Structure formats: C-alpha cells, structure tokens
Amino acid sequence: MVAASDVGSSRHRGAEFLAVIFMCKTSLGIAALLAASVCQLAAAADAVQLRWKFAPEQRFRYESQSETQTRTLFEGTDHKQTMQQKTVQSWLVEKVADDGSATLRLAFDRWITRIDRPGNLLEVDSASTKEPTGQEAVLLPLVKAVTGAPFSVKMSPLGATSEVTLPEILVKAVAARGQGNVAKEFFSEESLKAMVSQGSLKLPADPIEPGKTWEDTKGHKGMKVTSVYTYVGPEPESSPPLARIEMTARIDWADATVAGVKINIAEQSMEGVVHFDNEHGRLVDLEVTQKMALEYAQAGSKVRQEVQVHVTNKLLPNEDAPTGATTPAEAKPEATKPAE
C-alpha cells in the first residue's frame, strides 16, 4: 500500500521535472534570442540603415548571464527553484563574402550552471577539475564537450543566420544520453542549432527613424517568439556613441506540451534595452527581464508556476583571457530580485 505522503512526493518531483525542462527550453531560447538583439546608431535624427559589420580575422568576446527563478504552487505547497547560468563566448570572423556576409566560428570559453532548490544544489563548471558525482556527473561531460568545441554559422549583414554546424564531439556526447534525459533536452542538436540561429536579430532592410519599430519572429518546437524593437536614438553622453533600442516580446505556444502535459501560458511580459555600437557594427550590451505564469494539471491537481528570467549580455575586451577556474558559487551571476 502506497502512503499518501509518497504519492504527494512523487507528484512534487514530477512538477520539479517539468519546471527544469521548461526552464531549460525558455532560458536557452531566451538566452540565445536576446543575446543578439542589435541595431545601428544614427549620428543625427535621420533614418539610418541597420547593419552588422564584419572583417576577416575580427574577434568578439561576450559574457552572458541569466537567472531563472521558478515558484511552483502545487497541492498547497510552495516550491521555489533558482537556475543561474554564466557563459563566455568567442566569435571569430573566418571570412567575409562580397555581399558582406560572414562565416563565423563560435566557441564557449567557459560554461557555469547552478541549480538551487530545497535540499538539492547542483553546480556544474566547465573549468572544474573535481571528479563529478550524482547529477553533476550527468551534466559535466556535456558542458565540457560544448566548451571549446567550435560551432560554425553564416550571418548576413541583416543578421540572418544559416548553415549552422555543431561540433561532432558534442553531437556524439548528446546522442549517448537516454531519451527523456533533461541534459539531452538542453544540449540537443536541435536546441543548440536554434540557439545559434537565434543569436542574431534580422534587421530591417530599409532605413529606420528614431521612434519607429520593426518585428522579428522566431520559432522552435512549436514555440513562436515575436519581438518588437524600437529604435530610440543615440544614448546621451555615451562614448563611443551608442544606439539605444528598447524591446518587448511575446511567446505563443500553439501546442504547449512538455513531457506529455498540456501547459497554458496564463500571464506573460518581456521587456529590455539593447545598446549597439553602430560605428563598428556590434552589440555592446543588453538587459532583458521576462515574467510568465504557467498553469497545467498534474495527477488531477492544478499546478501554477511563476517564472521570472533576467538576462544580461556584454561585450568583453578582446585582450581579456577566458575567465579563470573559480568555483561556480564565486562566478555565479548577480542575484536578481525574487519573482513577485
């Protein structure tokens, strides 16, 4: 005979599993979509053309941080979980075509993930030299496989990406994981290709004036993200002159199903600010916050999850070496305010 407490615990673990998968999908999609929200700066209030600019052997280095806070309300319980991630990524322009399109080689120099939930703290660091145990032993090999292994992608001056190629070592490492494995979902070939492809905003083909907007829609596994960007104009007193772009976004999920469970997006909001160096055609920094409330049924009971995601991305000086081997706790992103 199964005790009621055991049933409740099993249901609670099921809710936790769904939360982790959704966090991975949302963070990956959001981290990879927002990391490339770019446009160009007008020296005056006239219409400007927005373009990426590339040169052979050009190098960029970005540091991205995200924090996802999830609150799950289930059968009278209030469960909270925090997922933090920090990556340092290098871009190398291998060649530039006559039309300005570039072939890029992308690589993660460092990858840190930290998942904190009651009674269970998971820390994974690609720079770690310790022998992994438990869940860390599942994730660390994939994190190490993705770190340093080059991705290849083509990007046009308008930011359209194509011909995404993943490192073979990562493809094989992911394929070795069993079906239903959260790590396999997070590092799947499809998810990583979507992350790389969504790493660039498709800029408007025509010149745009301050105050005007444009949209970009991206999709992945039935999830459609529509972003609306507003070119505000030059950021006052910035040096070098930077463009300020404000953005909002909405997620539409026609078949919102995770692990066979139908999910309803009850509430959502997303807004952020991007700064772009138009003179050199590159992203300087961005900061975005998303809030979402999800509702679904689990074992006949209603579950509500409140999710808040905070993402930052900033350009690093090229002369900086990859982040040193600190512990995940030392290198974790700055904490954001808890979801209200």
Read off the tokens for 204.
């408007």
Domain 4-331 classified CATH 2.30.230?
yes
What confidence tier does 184 reach under pLDDT thresholds 50, 70, 90? low
What confidence tier does 182 reach under pLDDT thresholds 50, 70, 90? low
Lowest mean pLDDT among 61-70, 125-134, 244-253, 258-267: 258-267
What confidence tier does 18 reach under pLDDT thresholds 50, 70, 90? very low
- Does residue 336 have a pLDDT over 50? no
Instruction: Give the per-residue pLDDT at 102.
Output: 96
Helix (H) or strand (E) holding 324: none
3-state secondary structure of 303: strand
- Does residue 332 have a pLDDT over 50? no
* Tens of pLDDT, residues 141-181: 888 888 888 889 998 888 888 888 888 877 777 777 655 55
* Tens of pLDDT, residues 32-56: 444 334 334 333 447 888 788 999 9
* Tens of pLDDT, residues 214-271: 998 887 667 888 999 999 988 888 887 888 899 999 999 877 777 678 888 999 999 9
Tallying the residues shown for the chain, one arrives at 340
Instruction: Give the per-residue pLDDT at 61.
Output: 92
Q: What does the mean pLDDT of the chain come to?
A: 77
* pTM for the structure as a whole: 0.76
- Does residue 324 have a pLDDT over 70? no
Instruction: Give the per-residue pLDDT at 80.
Output: 94
User: How many other β-carbons are positioned within 10 Å of the β-carbon of residue 215?
Assistant: 11
- Does residue 96 have a pLDDT over 80? yes
* Tens of pLDDT, residues 259-313: 678 888 999 999 999 888 888 888 888 899 999 999 999 888 899 999 999 999 8
Read off the tokens for 68.
């996802």
Question: Measured between alpha carbons, how far is 315 from 334 in angstroms, rounded to an integer?
Answer: 17
8 Å CB contact between 246 and 271:
yes
Percent of the chain with pLDDT over 70: 72
Instruction: Give the per-residue pLDDT at 35.
Output: 38
Which of 236, 237, 232 has the alpha carbon at shortest distance from 273? 232
* Sequence-distant contacts of 47-51: CB under 8 A, at least 24 apart: 47/207, 47/208, 47/209, 48/207, 48/208, 48/209, 48/231, 48/278, 49/206, 49/207, 49/208, 50/203, 50/204, 50/208, 50/231, 51/100, 51/157, 51/158, 51/203, 51/281
Read off the amino acid at residue 8: G
Q: How far is CA 172 from CA 89, 167, 220, 239, in A?
A: 21, 9, 22, 45
The larger pLDDT score, comparing residue 59 to residue 258, is at 59
Lowest mean pLDDT among 71-80, 178-187, 249-258, 328-337: 328-337
Phi, psi (rounded to 5 degrees) for 183:
-65, -40
Question: Measured between alpha carbons, how far is 120 from 114 in angstroms, rounded to an integer?
Answer: 11
Read off the tokens for 230.
């507003």
Cis peptide before 240 (omega within 30 of 0): yes
Pairing of strands 223-234, 213-220: antiparallel
Read off the tokens for 194.
């979507």
Considering Cα of 282, then 248, then 203, then 220, what sign does the dihedral take? positive
